[in-house]
Chains A and B, each alone.
Chain A
Amino acid sequence: MSSMQESAMKVEEKLYQNRYLVDAGRPHIKVLPHDKPSKALLSLTHTCPAGCYEQNERGQVEITADGCMECGTCRIVTAKTGEIEWNYPRGGFGVLYKFG
């Protein structure tokens, strides 16, 4: 679709609408230490609907889980490779949908 590039936009602008209660210092998702990400882990840099995953200059995949909507996509994509540790946030923390 030609409009795909044109309409590429910052996901941060979308997340800005949402309410979160961030559990500071206790991220509920962790990427395990690795040298080279698997194809599955690397795909999270575009598959995560909150854009939480980024590749650093050494090619490793990192996560900033603050904008996470807890959908579980990353958990399912990397279930076989075991490269991330995924838990729900502690009770009451995380995304708070106003409409859902």
Chain B
Amino acid sequence: MSDEHFDAIVVGAGPSGNAAAYTMAKEGLKVLQLERGEYPGSKNVQGAILYANALEEIIPDFREDAPLERHVIEQRMWTMDDASHVGMHYRSDDFNEEKPNRYTIIRAQFDKWFSRKVRDAGATLLCETTVTELVRDSKGRVIGVRTDRNAGKVFADVVILAEGVNGLVGQRSGLRSEVAPDSVALAVKEMHFLPREVIESRFNLKGDEGVVIEAMGTITNGMTGTGFLYTNQESISVGIGCIVSDFAENGTTPYGLLEAFKNHPSIKPLLAGSECKEYASHLIPEGGYNAIPELVGDGWIVVGDAGQFVNAVHREGSNLAMTTGRIAGETVVWLNRRREEMSKANLAEYKKRLEQTFVMKDLKKYRRIPDFLHANKHVFTLYPKLFNSAAQSWFRVDGIDKRSKEKQIMGAFRKSRSVLGLVGDAFKLARAWR
């Protein structure tokens, strides 16, 4: 395959790689996409929520044949202690719209569908092919990649690195430094199967309506992290994730943490009677804006998780992946049409375009959040405990007068965190959120 020259090579067939490959192939560019898995999706893990908007920008009529599970009509945000949860639920019939906003999906199926679209648009896909390194010319410009298929080289004007969170190619080629253990989360997840009628009655749903639960609190055992539970058509995705350096220091096993979450009295009845058919784990880059590496160079562009494009606060990643992939693809098409070189200076257009989108605006807005959460782990245990005991005290009718209950609740907050501490936390969070 070494005598063929492509307009672009895309490393990886996840959401960012597929978005980039599709965008370029649709515009007539000669695109080669390389995927190490047996099929696109076989190595990919996500919760998973699909944000329609980002995909609509690429494939406007995706709803016609994409494998979607349920459209989300209800969001539950839970703050948990060991026995309870305080919940904020938002459910709206407005989400039962002609073009729903968010869907639960199963990535192995979704990625296969997306990849079919990429190939239909004209791109060449090679699976079971691991890219081992970048190929450079004498001036250091990237001109192709080497793969583990007969140690073959393939050449292109530009290489789009959509290689995911463990971006070995980019790291080993010195394009970016290693991801730090405190800016990446390890998430583990299980797929639990139940008849769809059971899911619908258990979660108060009809048809393809879905519910998502995001949870924080003592479930992460003092570590920075969150748990989740998403309803699919005939299955429930349940998982939990924490910052890697927290796991390393804490001594908790990821699977022990997941078991404890599944056995929490608020979660257990939702999974009762289900059959687990898969256990998966994955890293999520959560370093935010300050962890974004160099994104372009002579002959290369970085998109998706490899570029740390995850908004951890809002649990968004795949939409950032698709958007960065699309914009990288559009930039390459634009340069290709103008017969411009794929030089670092010209590819900087990608960064310029990204600045105008929600991707960079949101990441910039939350740039102080990762450090805040890292320095304030008590947010994940102290407050959930306080909120839950306050709720219990408030709702339990036991002959104690309400003023005394109020005093007791306020006293508990003051005792465990002091007025100065409480005000300080609120101030620091507000400043990081700004």
Contact = CB atoms under 8 A, between A and B. Distances in A.
Contacts of A47: 186, 244, 247-248, 253-254
B254 A99 contact: no
Nearest to A50: B281
B53 interface: no
Given A15-B279, A71-B282, A76-B178, A51 B255 contact: yes
Contact of A99 (B147, B256, B278): B278
Given A72-B165, A79-B178, A4 B252 contact: yes
A22 interface: no
Contacts of B109: 99
Contacts, number: 160
Contacts of B248: 40, 43, 47, 77
Contact of A91 (B36, B235, B252): B36
User: Which of A46, A94, A100 has most B Cβ within 10 Å?
Assistant: A100
A67 to B, nearest CB: 10
A92 B37 contact: yes
B348 to A, nearest CB: 29
A36 B260 CA distance: 32
Contact of B259 (A7, A40, A46, A89): A7
A54 B412 CA distance: 43
Dominant SS at the B interface? mixed
A11 B111 CA distance: 27
Task: Place the interface of chain A in its size category.
Answer: 35 or more
Interface string B46-66: 101000000000000000000
A50 B257 CA distance: 13
A1 B82 contact: yes
Given A47-B186, A71-B281, A88-B168, A8 B106 contact: no
A73 B37 contact: no
A99 B108 contact: yes
Interface in A1-36: 1-4, 6-9, 11, 14-15, 17-18, 21
A14 B37 contact: no
Interface in A40-85: 40, 43, 46-47, 49-51, 69-73, 75-77, 79
